Structure 1
Amino acid sequence: MSVATLIFITALTIFLFFFKTVADTNELTYNMTSQSDKSITSTLKIPTAYTVSGAEVKQSIYKINDIGVDMVVDGVTYYKTLDPTEVNVSGINVDRNYTPTYVRDTKGDLTLLRFD
């Protein structure tokens, strides 16, 4: 009887250790994911409105060749074939916050990036 009790206590201790390890791993994964990619949100928390500054919008236009999609900022379309060294982005207010909208095709590929 004492051997069975010892095995039970040992199994219970191991179970609690594994349970705590899995809970810690889940918490760490959630924290790393939420800090590394702001566009990924958990369904367990209420999502907040994601905004970017005008300076980030300007930087995105300068990197439009790397991004590879057309961008629309306040109704002005910037095409992905644009030469970033010749673009006039003076109409973008750097102090304003923009809300990005991601337009995707049926395969899930990004086709248009809109800032309103």
Structure 2
Amino acid sequence: MRPQLWSIEVTRLAVGHARLRLTGDLDFDTAPELLDAATRARADGCAELTIDLVGLGLCDSSGLSAFLVLSQGGAGPVRLTGVGVRLRQLLDRTGLTELLAVEQPTAHVIDDVREVG
């Protein structure tokens, strides 16, 4: 499988609310870019952030740390949407599900469990 290219698409949803759609892997190299994009969105007046993770490939401890920094920064609410099964398990195991606003999966969220063959 080819690795996905990393990208962050920022969309203003309403006054004071932006969505950051992540594609690719959120790791040591890319987590600072997420923090920078969120900082810029907040500087543009978007206190409320929705982080769409449907296109996320992998998330390591740096990515988890970035979510925590964003949610604990006090600048406004942060909601995680499109959380796949593996990331949800990681958030549950680390106790972050209780600290972060994690949207419950819906039928359109693709299960990220892959067959090993």
After TM superposition, the score normalised by the length of structure 1 is: 0.22
TM-score, scaled to structure 2: 0.22
Higher alpha-carbon Rg: 1
Q: In proportion to residue count, which structure has more helix? A: 1
In proportion to residue count, which structure has more strand? 2
